Structure 1
Amino acid sequence: MPREVEYEPVSVKELLAEMKDTAELLIDLSYSAVLLRSDAVAEEVLELESRMDVLQLRARMSLLMAARSPDDAEALAPVLGIVGAAEKVSDAAGDIAKVVLEDVGLPEAMRAALPESVETLVRAEISPDSLLAGQSLGASNLETETGVRVIAVRRAGDWLTDPDAETVLQGGDVALLRGPELGVTGVYEKLSGEQYEPPEQPTESSADLERAMDSVVLMKDVSELAVDLAYGAVLFDDDGLAEEVLNLEAEVDALQSRFEAWTLRAAAEVDDPVSLRGLVQLAAATEVISDAALEISEGVLRGLDSHLVIREAVLESDEIIARYAVGEGSPLAGRTLGDVAVKTETGMRVIAVRRGDESRAPTGKQTGWVVSPGPETKLDAGDVLIAKGTRTGAARMVELTE
């Protein structure tokens, strides 16, 4: 039974920051629940979804109280859009969790495919002999040093979601890790004392089913990128980033259309077509996340100025988004992101690059933005980077770019 919610005078900035952090955590935990087949993690997702319902109601109440004129309504409309988008992400994460809780059919190969996304999800049991056992996450500086984030910890049967700098890792804990494959591999070995072995892909999948699953993984990556870019667009009031979000949302729509075609073809080849229901539900929920990203950036696309409270909320969230210009004497100038190992050196993930010279923009990128740059992406003086990560990592990025 949902509990009653009454109006309370609260900070909209704090509500928005908590909603942003909760939405991002929900995405991570919902896919982790699928990967681990964990009812406990899935139940945590539904608990957080319920919490999000309360947060969005309080945010709407506060915004309604603040609107006293047409000018106020115009200024606050983008804020309402972000509130609605966070709720949409929350609902999508709940639908993903229900794939586990309701035991909806899902091909075993899908669980093996999830760790192959841009950022790997891994479960690691902490050895009592680990050098990190007994250390707080803040003291170990794990995320900044490796780019790997501990998104949840299970201890004595209970899950601690969204652990912070004060959280102390203990022998026997089970940690959920998210980050680049290289970083995750190293952290897994430090925590468990064992070599990381990625899950093997089952061999019984048909070609059409493999294409369908690959589409879901790509939809997941593109949708998460779209959310990050959308927050960057409102933070920096950047039309170019907002346009890229629009393009990514269209790409997810196209991927879903292809996914549906391949799934229908695969249904004729599997013994039990009903076992594909979970895959369909996973794809539909993932597409909703890309829709939410577009809703976040819609105010920028329609020429509405980003409200100051949005920018402050994004800057105060757990993972910050920052913008950097590559200077003439920067260690990055003339080198690739892989050469400098930006993610593992700083903990910051570069999510977009704007070429300093429009003539260097990739074919078809009229705005000069390169989204989701890879290790092979070369940087030059004058390029602008949008990166996401910890505050300590953001400070390290300044040393690399200036």
Structure 2
Amino acid sequence: MSGRVEYEPASVKALLAEMKDTAELLIDLSYSAVLHGSADVAAEVLELEEQMDVLQMRARMSLLMAARNPEDAEALAPVLGVVGAAEKISDAAGDIAKVVLEEVGVPDAVRSALPEAVETLVRAELAPDSRWAGATLADANLETETGVRVIAIRRGGDWILNPGRDTDLRAGDVLLLRGPEPGVADVYEGATGDAYEPPEPPAQEVADLERAVDSLVTMKNMSELAVDLSYGAVLFDSTDLAEEVVALEAEVDALKSRFEAWTLRAAGRVDDPVSLRGLVHIATATEVISDAAVEISEGVLRGLDTHVVVQEAVEESDEVIVRVDVADGARLAGATLGDEQVETATGMRVIAVRRPGEDGDEWVVQPGPETAVRAGDVLLAKGTRAGAERLREFAG
């Protein structure tokens, strides 16, 4: 990374909140770059990784300045752990992106077998003559009209993470767009003036390699969920959530072993076994992400009080994590998440359900549309503050 980073007074809370949002976006972008074979998105990952390096350095400087005695050092040590874990996530995401940029090798058949559930993600630079240049996201109304979300904007050297309705769009902005491919194609053309050209599927499919897609998506989902739950554990000082993070990390380890075994078996069935080495890189980086999630929640696991600055940073990040109790007679009580179209209607993604029971709490991680919700359940969800209020209305 180029450039000298000098100390300047800064809010540790604000730095931690930005690091959290940046780390989560990095995970999403890096896997999307691989799954869609996008060098443009991979390049944005490295740009964002460089910003994370600056953030973590500034956070470490501010924490060192704040520690004036042994008691301060003891209280701030877990905060340094959170900073270090976010940096590890950033580095792992960069390693995943380099699989695309350095052509380490991912079989084309992997991308051709992408499930429909994995949305398209593209990078689009807003042209000066675009009808959206100078408009706000509310004016453009992209998500309602096309199903496409602007998940981040790079403006020169600055990033706008999780842009909202009032965010203005300017010529030269680099937009990261996510949504169904037909909608993405329309928005890409409207933003850049050029036609969207999706990557061509390979002419020949290799059936043995198609299983890699499920493995990649599962590993990505599990590592991302582990990170979400780790921040939830910190926010709610929840040992139960922290233990779920540990269980997820163990599952990712087991999945990595199966993934490596599959790759070695596949090596004898492909013309160029070297083309499979990117899969090993991805598995290794994914394991690092899940390990970092454990580090974020380690203070909770060890019975240490979560420093208030970390809790406030999680609360004030662009995407909030909320805990919602489902009341008797609530709209959600007795329904499934799919019945009520919770994610579409509220903009909140339920990342876990805790169900109190006589023999201890039961946890449902990675709940899907078919997951039934009962009165007394506790929902952990991630999304915008406005969405959180709508979710509370569904559950109250």
User: Which of the five TM-score ranges fits, normalised by the shorter chain?
Assistant: 0.7 to 0.9
In the alignment, is residue 253 of structure 1 matched against residue 267 of structure 2? no
The secondary structure found in structure 1 opposite 2:339 is helix
One-letter code aligned to 1:378: A
1:284 CA drift (Å)? 1.3
Aligned to 2:316: 316
Q: Which runs of 5+ in 1 are unaligned?
A: 360-365
Selected match of 1:390 from 380, 384, 394: 384
- The 3 A distance-change label for structure 1 pair 367 and 322 is same
1:266 CA drift (Å)? 0.6
Aligned 8 A contact 1:335 1:380 in 2: yes
> How high is the TM-score relative to the length of structure 1?
0.84
- The 3 A distance-change label for structure 1 pair 124 and 103 is closer
**Mapped partners of 2:350, 2:199: distance in 1:** 25
Aligned to 2:192: none
The percentage of aligned residue pairs carrying the same residue is 67
Aligned 8 A contact 1:113 1:217 in 2: no
The secondary structure found in structure 1 opposite 2:2 is coil
1:124 CA drift (Å)? 9.0
Aligned to 1:274: 274
Aligned to 2:293: 293
In the alignment, is residue 120 of structure 1 matched against residue 119 of structure 2? yes
One-letter code aligned to 1:238: S
**Mapped partners of 2:183, 2:207: distance in 1:** 34
How far does the alpha carbon of each residue in 1:82-141 deviate from its partner, in whole angstroms, 9 at most, with x for none? 101110011011111111221211101222455556x63444989xxx998985224567
> How high is the TM-score relative to the length of structure 2?
0.85
**Mapped partners of 1:147, 1:391: distance in 2:** 20
- The 3 A distance-change label for structure 1 pair 212 and 187 is closer
The secondary structure found in structure 2 opposite 1:351 is strand
1:355 CA drift (Å)? 0.7
In the alignment, is residue 41 of structure 1 matched against residue 35 of structure 2? no
Within a 5 Å distance, the mapping from 1:2-401 to structure 2 comes to 2-113=2-113, 120-123=119-122, 136-139=136-139, 149-152=149-152, 162=161, 164-165=163-164, 166-168=166-168, 176-178=176-178, 184=180, 188=184, 191=187, 204-207=205-208, 209-358=209-358, 367-401=361-395
Aligned 8 A contact 1:95 1:281 in 2: yes
**Mapped partners of 1:162, 1:225: distance in 2:** 19
- The 3 A distance-change label for structure 1 pair 287 and 144 is farther
**Mapped partners of 2:55, 2:188: distance in 1:** 37
Aligned-residue CA RMSD (Å):
3.6
**Mapped partners of 2:147, 2:303: distance in 1:** 35
How far does the alpha carbon of each residue in 1:247-295 deviate from its partner, in whole angstroms, 9 at most, with x for none? 0000000000001111011111111111112121122112211111111
Aligned 8 A contact 1:336 1:378 in 2: yes
**Mapped partners of 2:157, 2:270: distance in 1:** 37
**Mapped partners of 1:139, 1:226: distance in 2:** 36
Aligned to 1:362: none
Aligned 8 A contact 1:144 1:390 in 2: no
**Mapped partners of 1:110, 1:401: distance in 2:** 40
